Amino acid sequence: MDDAELDNLLRQSLARRQAAPADSQALADWASRHVGEAERANARARALGLARATVSGDAVRVIQWLEEIVSIFARSTATPPDGEKAFAFFSPGKTCIHEVIRQFDIARHSCDVCVFTITDDPITDSIIRAHARGVAVRVITDDEKSHDLGSDIDKLHLCGIPCKMDLGNAAHMHHKFALFDGRRLITGSFNWTRSASEQNEENLLVTPDPDLVAAFAVRFEFLWGRLALMSNDQ
């Protein structure tokens, strides 16, 4: 992809005010073949230039588009190589939810989820996809939030995914983290809800740091051993 083709793809994406799946895949494929920082800097500069030329009354949506595009250029490959770097994502916008879904889609062995609530269907679908292809998935969530309108915990449970909750505890299970393949951690304020993507100021940190991964894995196993497994009559 030369500069003209890159500019054309960026303009088409910007015109829609979002990075459509086809746009994201094309840009991710391009970024995976151009690992040099000079090429990445050039791509970021072109996206910034397009945004600056477009900003007007809908500046907020333009900036959200820009955050999505820059996050794509920041990732070197579609699957995490050894030495993957840490990244931060922010909402409102689609960068956080896209990254959560990406982590489930690239998981090969295990996904350990420990989150306050799950109501955003695209995330739920990505969890079920991982489970369906043989990835070992476990979910810990808050018992009270599991009864909220739109909660997907029953759906996950009925798919055969083991789910545990802090039944009978007056306090909330308020964690928001997940571990993938025992190698990658995502955590932050980001709730797995539609409002977190579309309205709230949230953050999501993705890191392969082995010390952090190990610390959160210990906490997950502690909670998994202490909390109650959902039964079929719940």
Q: What is the pLDDT of residue 79?
A: 46
Q: Which of 105, 121, 174, 209 is catalytic?
A: 174
Task: From the candidates 125, 176, 211, 233, give the one annotated as an active-site residue.
Answer: 176
Q: What is the pLDDT of residue 233?
A: 42
**Per-residue confidence at 211, pLDDT binned at 50, 70, 90?**
confident
Mean per-residue pLDDT, 28-44: 66
Higher pLDDT: 94 or 113? It is 113
pLDDT at 198 over 60: yes
Q: Is 109 a catalytic residue?
A: no
Region 126-140 average pLDDT: 95
pLDDT band at 42 (very low <50, low <70, confident <90, very high): low
134 band by pLDDT with thresholds 50, 70 and 90: very high
164 SS3 class: strand
From the list 119, 145, 130, the residue with the least C-alpha distance to 198 is 119
The Cβ of residue 8 has, within 10 Å, a number of other Cβ atoms equal to 12
Confidence at residue 170, expressed as pLDDT on a 0 to 100 scale: 67
Q: How far is CA 176 from the centre of its chain?
A: 12
Beta strands in the chain (DSSP E): 87-91, 110-115, 136-141, 163-165, 176-180, 184-187, 202-207, 228-229
For residue 176, indicate whether it is catalytic: yes
Confidence grade of residue 230 (pLDDT, cut at 50, 70, 90): low
What is the C-alpha to C-alpha distance for residues 175 and 139, in angstroms, rounded to an integer?
A: 12
pLDDT at 76: 43
The string of DSSP codes covering 60-84 is HHHHHHHHHHHHHHH-S-SSPPTTP
Q: Which residues contact 147 (CB under 8 A, 6 or more apart)?
A: none
Please provide the average confidence, as pLDDT, over all residues in the chain: 79
Confirm whether 181 is a catalytic residue: yes
- From 23, 142, 143, 181, active-site residue: 181
Give the single-character DSSP code of 93: S
Q: What is the pLDDT of residue 176?
A: 93
Tell whether the model's pLDDT for residue 14 goes beyond 70: yes
